[in-house]
Chains A and B, each alone.
Chain A
Amino acid sequence: MSALKLKKGTSRKSAYDLKSTLGDTVETHTIAVLVDNEAGVLARVIGLFSGRGYNIESLTVAEVDHTGHLSRITIVTTGTPAVIVQIKAQLARMVPVHEVHDLTVEGPSVERELAMLKVAGTGDKRVEAMRLADIFRAAVVDTTLESFVFEITGTPEKIDAFVDLMHPLGLVEIARTGVAAMLRGA
């Protein structure tokens, strides 16, 4: 967990969460950003990251409030504590941004990602792939006599592990959604 001691939801309103940022260890943070669902908003966010040299490990976006025209962007990023604080401040000052939440700090949070894996093969390898998919609770969403398409949902780490196991069993294609995340509790 982070060394930051941030008050919940302070990233937009308060500058006082900026205190304990002296540290040079790189941390991974998941940030949820609520934005106006307008043309170009994703380009603005991505442009901020590329323009200022911040990292994007994963990014997902979709409309979450149709009547309010709001989209939720979930960004997984890495940086020193000072950089993470900068990222949040830079996001928060963008005009179409309504809220910025650092789920890693405000957490605990639940993170989920969906992936589809196409595994081709026959014989023992095919059986083994099916057996491992069962263990990982991956569903088969398409099958031929020589291939499966598995759908797996879980933390990025769980998906990484599943991908690693499928590699020697005939993995030919992967599609991943990136992380969606939410705070635990009410």
Chain B
Amino acid sequence: MTRQMTGAQMVVQALKDQGVDTVFGYPGGAVLPIYDEIFQQNEIRHILVRHEQGAAHAAEGYARSTGKPGVVLVTSGPGATNAVTGMTDALMDSIPLVVLTGQVPTFMIGTDGFQEADTVGITRPCTKHNWLVKDTDKLAEILHQAFHVARSGRPGPVLVDIPKDVQFANGAYVEPAKARTGHYQPQVKGDIEAISTLVEAMEKAQRPLFYTGGGVINSGNGACQLLRELVDATGFPITSTLMGLGAYPASGKNWIGMLGMHGTYEANLAMHDCDLMINVGARFDDRITGRIPDFSPKSKKAHIDIDASSINKVIHVEIPILGDVGHVLEDALKIWKSRGRKTHAAGVRKWWGKINEWQAVKCLTYKNSDKLIKPQFAVQRLEALTKDMDRYVTTEVGQHQMWAAQFLGFQEPHRWMTSGGLGTMGYGFPASIGVQIAHPDALVINVAGDASFLMNMQEMGTAVQYDLPVKQFILNNERLGMVRQWQELLHGERYSHSWSESLPDFVKLAEAFGAKGIYCDDPRNLDDAINEMIKHDGPVIMDCVVEKHANCFPMIPSGKPHNEMLLGEADTTGAIADGGAVLV
């Protein structure tokens, strides 16, 4: 027997049936029927953000820290367009989001109605898939399909655009089990022949390296466990992208740090010199590869990815394996064990000798000061004082993000939320709200810059309203630090619009919202300030005033290969050639 209900009731029912406990949203004319239904129930918690971009990023934070899809509910027109950045961010970083938008009634579509926008048209390139629902009878099934698509294969954002008359009209509700999820069933099992080829290559490799990415985390905790088992059993070194931090523990004995533009010396040189690169759920992003013709010239490359379009997109690989990381690693381990757990022990030992030499360079060293807080020192102290806590970290985008990635250690997946692919300033604060909603008792810190924080600071209202004790740790250099760094390196130190004029007093800003503000500009007081921030039971903005002209090193200048890294405050003039200057 089918249940008849209104479209608005279907939305709430479908969310419940999909196991949704939290929705991040902002009401408006075209979603009023749905908000009316939300008002009349208690199972789904609605978090009222202060801007729709905040809703999308909060849902991303929720999703990244739980592995479940984040749900966003916004109105038509500006509600939808404001969420576009969050959806694009989620698409680049493979984060499952289900975004529900209101739309003008079907009979008004195309008339340039009030708050009308072509939402499915605008969001087509920034979602995995989207739907405009014109018939209430189809709504429930589409909602279930939306969750299926968001979760399946390479996860990503989906959008369902629901005209207001469809929300009011009656229709038949379809249970999730009865919804046709169609032909969209991405392949998860890898080809055994290809996996065997990989195992054979692993047995012979003298300079092997695991290069892992966010795909491991998306594949689930099981995949992370299998990765750890495989890495520890083979004794191969492992590096990870920004997105993959925590899949293998930072304290693990084979960990050689993050790779990429601001990755460690040892990780990047290992990438350059390895003879077998095993890419597990990463995508050869340009922050990783540097100059493509010089990328790891001597290695045989394997690539495990659930998305066929990621394989051979940028870098040609000899051993492509299409499938889910967890499934493929399970088979690889099984095959490797059954063939006698072989590795080229002498070669790998020699390889570690080389890596240890690179590690001895201590590429993250910086010159500390007893007068000014160095940003690296601030993050180091944050790590020292919080590493044993039940801690989740989000970041904004820029230098502080890279320092956080370099100096914070992640022992578990889902603990590190950062905007990797899109590089969205303004991501971290709302994301920290989403994380705190999902983990109410955990310590949630957003490592921020002064400029990034301002991009979504209105969410202080959300943090205070829901009493979310998120800690905004602002490394305040009164600069757009990364922009300034690039201007120094390749635009003749002409610092065009890269300073933060007229910054607010962050302590007063916090207090104006009813939160706590902490100011610190003296390295001797830093520990006390951080401890005060952690201990305060409520939202905190900590204005940590740091040295203004610190640069983030190591750095692979754009257009350069891995083995031409800049290490610290050496002479950096002319480090980037004309060809590199056109790159981002």
Which residues of A are at the interface with B, using a C-beta cutoff of 8 A? 13-16, 18-19, 21-22, 36, 39-40, 43-44, 47, 51, 82, 85-86, 89-90, 92-96, 98
Contact = CB atoms under 8 A, between A and B. Distances in A.
B312 A82 contact: yes
13 contacts: A15-B194, A15-B308, A15-B311, A18-B308, A21-B316, A40-B121, A43-B124, A82-B312, A89-B309, A89-B311, A95-B129, A95-B149, A98-B183
B313 A86 contact: yes
Q: Which of A86, A90, A93, A95 has the most chain B CB atoms closer than 10 A to its own CB? A: A95
A3 B132 CA distance: 42
Interface in B161-179: none
A95 B130 CA distance: 9
A14 B191 contact: yes
B466 interface: no
Closest 8 CB pairs of A and B: A15-B322, A89-B309, A95-B129, A15-B320, A18-B312, A89-B308, A90-B309, A15-B311
A47 B309 contact: no
Contacts of B308: 15, 18, 89, 92-93
Nearest to B308: A89
A47 B154 CA distance: 20
A145 B125 CA distance: 52
Interface in B309-328: 309, 311-313, 316, 320-322
Contacts of A21: 312, 316
B128 interface: yes
B201 to A, nearest CB: 15
Contacts of B184: 95
B312 A85 contact: yes
B221 to A, nearest CB: 25
B316 A22 contact: yes
B309 A14 contact: no
B187 interface: yes
B120 interface: yes
B216 to A, nearest CB: 18
Contacts of A18: 308, 311-312, 320
B193 to A, nearest CB: 9
Contact of A40 (B120, B149, B153, B182): B120
Contact of A95 (B121, B125, B128, B311): B128
Contacts of B154: 93
**A15, A82, A90, A95 pick with most chain B CB within 10 angstroms:** A15
Given A95-B129, A95-B149, A13 B187 contact: yes
Interface of B: 120-121, 124-125, 128-129, 132, 149, 153-154, 182-184, 186-187, 191, 194, 307-309, 311-313, 316, 320-322
Given A39-B132, A89-B308, A95-B128, A15 B321 contact: yes
Nearest to A20: B316
Given A15-B320, A18-B308, A51-B125, 5 more contacts: A16-B194, A93-B153, A93-B309, A94-B129, A95-B184
Contact of B309 (A13, A44, A86): A86
B313 A16 contact: no
A98 B309 CA distance: 16
B121 A43 contact: yes
A39 B124 CA distance: 12
Nearest to A94: B129
A40 B307 contact: no
Contacts of B311: 15, 18, 89
A19 B312 CA distance: 8
A93 B312 contact: no
Interface centre among B187, B194, B313, by most chain A C-beta atoms within 10 angstroms, is B313
B124 A44 contact: yes
A18 B183 CA distance: 23
B309 to A, nearest CB: 4
A64 to B, nearest CB: 16
A67 to B, nearest CB: 15
A47 to B, nearest CB: 6
Contacts of A94: 129
B97 to A, nearest CB: 15
Output the residue of B154, B307, B309 with the most chain A CB within 10 A.
B309
Nearest to A43: B124
Nearest to B184: A95
Contacts of A19: 320
Contact of A93 (B191, B307, B316, B321): B307
Nearest to B145: A95
A94 B311 CA distance: 16
Contacts of A82: 312, 316
Contacts of B309: 86, 89-90, 92-93
A92 B129 CA distance: 13
Contacts of B191: 14-16
B87 to A, nearest CB: 15
Nearest to A93: B309
B312 A14 contact: no
A82 B314 CA distance: 9
Nearest to B320: A15
Contacts of A98: 183
A47 B120 CA distance: 12
A132 to B, nearest CB: 45
A94 B153 CA distance: 11
Nearest to B321: A15
B278 to A, nearest CB: 15
